[in-house]
Amino acid sequence: MNVETPKKTEKALTYRRYEDGKSKWRDLQHQIFQAGWSHKCPTYVHRTPPCQGSCPSGHDIRGWLQIARGIDKPPVAGMTWQEYAFRRMAKANPFPSVMGRVCPAPCETGCNRNAVDDFVGINGVEQYVGDWAIDNKMSFAKPAKETGKKVAIIGSGPAGMSAALYLRERGHGVTLFESQPELGGMMRYGIPGYRTPRDMLDAEIKRIVDTGVVVKTGVRVGKDVTVEQLERDFDAIFWAIGAQVGRPLPVAGWDAPNCVAGVEFLRAFNEGRLKVAAKRVVVVGGGDTSIDVASVARRLGYISHGRDIPTPESVVVGHTAQDVAGIMQREGVTAVLTSLFPVEQMTAAAREREDAMREGVEIKGSVMPLEVIKGPDGRARALKMCRCTMKGMTPVPTPGTEFEIECDLIVSAIGQGGDLKGMENFDNGKGLMAVESTYQVKDKPKHFAGGDIVRPHLLTTAIGHAGIAAESIDRFLAGQDLGKRPKVDKRRFDLLDELRQRKLEPSEYDHKEARGTSDAKFAVHNYEDRSFVEIIKHDDMFLGHFPFVERAKRKEIHIGAEEVIGNFQERIVNYTEEQAVAEGKRCMSCGMCFECDNCVVFCPQTAVFRVKKDQRALGRYVDTDYKKCIGCHICADVCPTGYIEMGLGE
């Protein structure tokens, strides 16, 4: 007789604010609580949520999720919530449609909702709003006033385009130099179109250019234009040239002609020159680029009798194209991807990794390359490898585990560097540029840099660099000190800005001495902004308030290994408006009031009360009557978001 094992619940919802035994007070606490009242009172403390703290671009994620859920309503009559959310997003990321698709979402990994059930579908809401903005032809306003200052931006990837927008918003003239015929950098030439649909990318780029950016494509700085010319013609220069040169495998035999770099493979594909791959492809890497190479190779297939078709490596390193390949029958490519790290620890996004395996890519983890084995013709015929373990970032080979993977093409996707020909004095010795925390190039005051040329990483990291660099350039052009960057360097919520946009800003201060400001109109009382130094943790919140709510997962079009050849259809299905709103409601609003009324309901002295409707704004929903407050802590204990903290008062 078979007995079915009962299914385990996904999560035990047994949160307790205070565990047994946590009732011993320190001496000071005992003195405060020995009476029926204390000198403590609630203070409203704003902290950065971990989603934003984890986001390299510094997105105000909590802010636009508050808009999606309807807590923060548009300040202008007739404005939709989608437009309001888009405007908030674009302050830190002008590419929500692209990033909502391809960003590996460190924000979701850091989401405090993981301590309750599952993270909020941040990428899904971002993509929904980004696509809505394109469909509804949202644009950016041109600056009301021009400063007369001119900035040259070199490179049109995520860093260059974002910097162009943020500098135009400040009224500076921007001229953008791009060596390729089209704008977009790695978004266009490094990521296949089935991940970043070109019509969406073009729309988000055009929106920035339309603010008044002068564009010069097909111009390579260091060759067509010298650095000296830029320094003479512009007041500041922002380098966003990316990392376009792939790193070779550091093993013997890499000089074989059929050994190429991953970024060059993808560039040839995205330029339309590479139309077929080799029969057996080995990709060495473990990051998103290696996944893209293997997945593209599987989609391209190979042609067994293509004598007139240039080999893939000749296309990658040259300027030929496989035009004739379009009319020939393709066969499946055997694609093997290898990683120094175990498969589950690869840096590539788990979703991308799973899709690649589903599409027929074989992934081998914990292996390292030893040597490229050449055949009599000098071409690579196999890659010799062995098992390995990682000691930090250094692979340690396991003796006696050597093996060979037979192949017709080897692709290295183990990292990138910049192409600094004609700009050699900018090279920090690693093929990159060295910058200060303000993204000013070291020892070159007029020059700033961001993106992969500073640190090869995510697209959203490049956007974050651009935001800080644009602020630094603005200060530089004004002759101001660049200052010191805050500990939590993000696009933070500003309560005064929120009050101003709703015409609720404090009145002018008369500069007369006064004791206490709780009734004064010139101050925002009992509010403290710690967002520039603190990220709120889940154990600072009352998680018992939040029920289990399943995340709305974006649907995906999964392709099997048999259907992959020639299939370049986008895989992610966008959220509906209902799904986007529902995910907004799952946000726990860490570090900011979301108007749950707990403090009002549970205050035993009725000291906490709602602000009048015509005086409300995000972060200003409740107030405290300190004549009634006895400092009992209950409001702070039941605040789900950790926005209330007890402080000493009168």
**CB–CB of 423/244 below 8 Å?**
no
- 208-254, pLDDT tens digit by residue? 999 999 999 999 999 999 999 999 999 999 999 999 999 999 999 99
Closest-CA residue to 541 (of 25, 125, 50, 58)? 50
Secondary structure in 3-state letters for 506-523:
CCCCCCCCCCCCCCCCCC
CA distance 59 to 532: 14
The single-letter code of the amino acid at 344 is E
Residue 338: enclosing H or E segment and its boundaries?
strand 334-339
Band of residue 525 on the pLDDT scale cut at 50, 70, 90: confident
Closest-CA residue to 476 (of 56, 58, 232, 147)? 147
**CB–CB of 574/131 below 8 Å?**
yes
Residue range 445-472: mean pLDDT, rounded = 96
CA distance 244 to 266: 11
pLDDT at 9: 44
Residue 573, phi then psi, degrees to nearest 5: -100, 125
Q: Three-state SS for 495?
A: helix
Place of tokens 């990521």: 191
CA distance 137 to 143: 19
- 47-74, pLDDT tens digit by residue? 999 999 999 999 999 999 999 999 999 9
The answer for residues whose C-beta is within 8 angstroms of residue 35's C-beta and 6 or more apart is: none
Q: Does residue 650 have a pLDDT over 70?
A: no
- 101-141, pLDDT tens digit by residue? 999 999 999 999 999 999 999 999 999 999 999 999 999 99
**CB–CB of 266/274 below 8 Å?**
no
Question: Any idea what DSSP says for residue 548?
Answer: P
Domain 26-47+494-530+591-650 in CATH 3.30.70? The answer is yes
Q: Three-state SS for 96?
A: helix
Residue 583 tokens, joined: 């995910």
CA distance 199 to 639: 45
| Better pLDDT: 414 or 519 | 414
Nearest-10 crossing angle of helices 158-169, 198-209:
30
Question: Any idea what DSSP says for residue 429?
Answer: S
Q: Do domains 150-243+418-477 and 246-416 have the same CATH topology?
A: yes
CA distance 466 to 476: 15
- β-pairing verdict for 245-246 and 416-417: antiparallel
- 308-354, pLDDT tens digit by residue? 678 888 888 775 666 655 556 778 999 999 999 999 999 998 889 99
- 280-306, pLDDT tens digit by residue? 999 999 999 999 999 999 999 998 865
CA 318, 324, 326, 332 torsion-angle sign: negative
| Better pLDDT: 540 or 647 | 540
**CB–CB of 421/398 below 8 Å?**
no
pLDDT at 20: 74
Closest-CA residue to 270 (of 179, 177, 155, 185)? 185
CA distance 261 to 190: 12
> Sheet containing 527-529: which strands, arranged edge to edge?
527-529, 40-46, 644-648
State the burial class of residue 612 (Cβ atoms within 10 Å of its Cβ: 0-12, 13-18, 19+): exposed
Residue range 19-23: mean pLDDT, rounded = 70
State the burial class of residue 27 (Cβ atoms within 10 Å of its Cβ: 0-12, 13-18, 19+): exposed
State the burial class of residue 377 (Cβ atoms within 10 Å of its Cβ: 0-12, 13-18, 19+): exposed
**CB–CB of 173/150 below 8 Å?**
yes
| Better pLDDT: 177 or 19 | 177
| Residues recorded for the chain | 650
Highest CATH level, class, for 246-416: alpha beta
- 301-319, pLDDT tens digit by residue? 998 865 567 888 888 877 5
CA distance 99 to 459: 8
State the burial class of residue 4 (Cβ atoms within 10 Å of its Cβ: 0-12, 13-18, 19+): exposed
pLDDT at 2: 43
pLDDT at 5: 45
- β-pairing verdict for 447-449 and 236-239: parallel
**CB–CB of 234/152 below 8 Å?**
yes
Band of residue 16 on the pLDDT scale cut at 50, 70, 90: confident
CA distance 248 to 245: 9
Closest-CA residue to 296 (of 350, 361, 363)? 361
- CB hemisphere CA count around 313 (13 angstroms): 17
Q: Three-state SS for 328?
A: coil
| Better pLDDT: 36 or 157 | 157
CA distance 324 to 336: 27
Residue 599 tokens, joined: 């403090």
Fold of 150-243+418-477: FAD/NAD(P)-binding domain (3.50.50)
Band of residue 357 on the pLDDT scale cut at 50, 70, 90: very high
- CB hemisphere CA count around 615 (13 angstroms): 11
CA distance 620 to 616: 6
Query: Domain segments of the chain: what residues?
Result: 26-47+494-530+591-650, 52-138+547-578, 150-243+418-477, 246-416
CATH number of 52-138+547-578: 1.10.1060.10
Residue range 403-423: mean pLDDT, rounded = 94
Q: Does residue 31 have a pLDDT over 70?
A: no
CA distance 50 to 29: 30
Residue 464, phi then psi, degrees to nearest 5: -60, -40
pLDDT at 510: 80
pLDDT at 627: 85
